[in-house]
Amino acid sequence: MPIGFPENRLRVIPDGGCMTKSPGKYAHSADRTRFHDMRILGIILIVVGLLAVGLPYVTFTKKEKVLDIGPIEAVAETQERIPISPIVGLLVFVGGVGIVIASVVKKS
């Protein structure tokens, strides 16, 4: 055990995980965290995929300076649209479902 560390702290083991004093259900907390992060990423992809399928395009407002003479300014606002293919949304959704399933299966 390293000098200066109390016995109740986690110790780093050579394979990259962390091990408690008595290995038990959560002996490798790094693996558990990685699968939890994968599940969160999968859920985010599912939500983004559903939004992409439900919304045919993304709209945003672009401001452009048209005239600038001393203290006088004229700004033109234009709305831009970016079309989103439903196929892309479906692929993102399916990828998110796959990641969630893989994280649950690997965890078990």
Whether residue 15 is contained in a domain is answered as yes
Query: Greater confidence, 20 or 87?
Result: 87
Task: State the pLDDT at residue 30.
Answer: 61
Task: State the pLDDT at residue 70.
Answer: 84
Whether residue 3 is contained in a domain is answered as no
Distance CA 40, CA 47 (A): 11
Domain count, the chain: 1
Distance CA 40, CA 36 (A): 6
Distance CA 52, CA 12 (A): 42
Over the stretch 30-65, which tens digit does the pLDDT of each residue have? 666 777 888 999 999 999 999 999 988 889 999 998
Distance CA 95, CA 48 (A): 11
Whether residue 20 is contained in a domain is answered as yes
Whether residue 74 is contained in a domain is answered as yes
Whether residue 4 is contained in a domain is answered as no
Distance CA 105, CA 99 (A): 10
Task: State the pLDDT at residue 1.
Answer: 46
